[in-house]
Amino acid sequence: MGLGKLSQLFVVLTLAAIFAFVQGCSFDAGIDRDNLLPTVPAESETPGIVIPSGAPTIDIFGLAFSSAGNLNPITCASKLNMYLIPLMYESLFEIDGNFEARPLLCERFERDENSYILYIDKDVKFSDGTGLTAQDVKYSLELAKGNDTYYSERLRFVRSISAVGDDAVKIELAEPMGHLEWLLDIPIIKSGSSNMVSPIGTGPYMYVEDGDESYLKAYSGWWQNRKRPYPRIDLIDTPEADLLISFFESGAISLAGNDPTATDPVVFGGDYEEWSFPTSIMYYLGANTEDGPMRDPELRKALSHAIDREFICETEMVRYADPAVLPVNPASRLYDTGIAAGMGFSLEKFARQVEGAGYDEEKPLVINMIVNSENKYKVAVAERIAEDMRTMGVTVNLGLLKWEDYLAALNAGNFDIYLAEVKLRNDFDLTELVSQKGSLNFGRYYSEDTEFLLTSFTQADSNSIGSVSSSLYRKLAEDAPIIPILFKRHVVNAKRGLIEAIDPKQTNIFNGLIG
């Protein structure tokens, strides 16, 4: 089929099916609560797809992007464009599939109680051929620390950033932070290039505009000197309100990242392959520790036994989740299986603990539970938990609330328990969830011991954080202000047979891509 006919076909598909991306209703432990409301993209005219010239469609490796958004890795707000960032930019450290920080642009580092010195790899070059310097790192981190960036909250500990010669950066901390490297997977750009459509980076590809075409070109001088899977990756303009499904099924888009349990998930048809990977996105129950029956920590502890996590992940989450009784992904070394062992599903244990708390047939336990109604997966999980508790004689009043009503109920404390989703930081810090000052501590939980352990967690280095996190998880298991359920899995979809191998991870869906 000629390119002209292909263009006509895509226009027909465009007019036939418009699919809107709607941001899932969930929390982010690194974002202020004022920014938690879901956003709905503004309506826009549906564009025809631009087919790259010079090759049949079957030979194109295309990825979705939004021409309305930018490709600045620090200020980018487009989900589609954020997927592309690891192809063009690299960070001081990268986070692997087990949520460990691995040196990348940073060769080594030194730390004391209130500062870090990061030594830059002298072999690194930008895509314009110039070498990476400490000034570039300083410039990038200061941009990231600014207001209204995705990374600003994680750098709240930072007092100042300074270049020490050409190859070292000193970070002064306002308060002790023992594992800052876990939070430094922040893209580095060349100093002074932030106003460019696509700032200069050190990654394997560079952004090119040629008339109506936009594409990524493999950079021959990439400092890692590893094979790039494709010499050219075409960028297919796919506004965030429409055409990903049509373009993927038609072959113009070759590979796409996806959250299959999102509020409005993208569902592809046709013949394609799928790879899933763990995330730091947790489903959990939160309890009202200030009012109602859940003031009793013994009752809160009992809730963990009422959750059939394996069944929920297999059935309600259609295998796109991993069961977890601790507030850390099981893929992480921080997940203490010794603590987790006694907290699993057992309706018999649940019933005994409810009875031990003073409830029986004459004095039945009544629980008011709320969940956001706009995500069918959250509703299914909540209904499963509620039904299992009902089989043991507990009355569960399940409120299915629209997002605004759900938030209002949380802020007012109008619940006994609630089901929620939260994206945790790379280090699985829980301050926002269970600290007295935490913006997501809707259950108004407070414990002096927990505050101490949260501070200890923040100050722990990579060697000591395992023992400190176990102490924290043991305390939270005793008090049970939150009851973890699962961690979501996201996926990469690609047309069958198109790629040989891939090992995607939360921070880079193209990791290990072999074409």
Query: Taking a C-beta distance cutoff of 8 angstroms, is the pair 184, 91 a contact?
Result: yes
CA–CA dist 205, 87 (Å, integer): 6
Query: Taking a C-beta distance cutoff of 8 angstroms, is the pair 168, 119 a contact?
Result: yes
- The predicted-structure confidence for 434-455, as pLDDT tens digits, reads as follows 999 999 999 999 999 999 999 9
DSSP-H helix ranges across 201-286:
244-250
pLDDT (0 to 100) of residue 54? 38
CATH topology of domain 279-489: Dipeptide-binding Protein; domain 3 (3.10.105)
pLDDT (0 to 100) of residue 95? 97
pLDDT (0 to 100) of residue 240? 58
pLDDT (0 to 100) of residue 40? 31
CATH topology of domain 93-183: Dipeptide-binding Protein; domain 1 (3.90.76)
pLDDT (0 to 100) of residue 6? 33
* Regions in the chain scoring below 50 on pLDDT: 1-24, 31-58, 241
| Terminal C-alpha separation, the chain | 24
Stretch(es) of the chain classified as CATH 3.10.105.10: 279-489
pLDDT (0 to 100) of residue 22? 31
pLDDT (0 to 100) of residue 26? 74
3-class SS shares of the chain: helix, strand, coil, % to 5? 30, 25, 50
Stretch(es) of the chain classified as CATH 3.90.76.10: 93-183
pLDDT (0 to 100) of residue 177? 94
Rounded to the nearest 10°, the torsion over CA 77, 78, 83, 85 is -50
CA–CA dist 147, 99 (Å, integer): 26
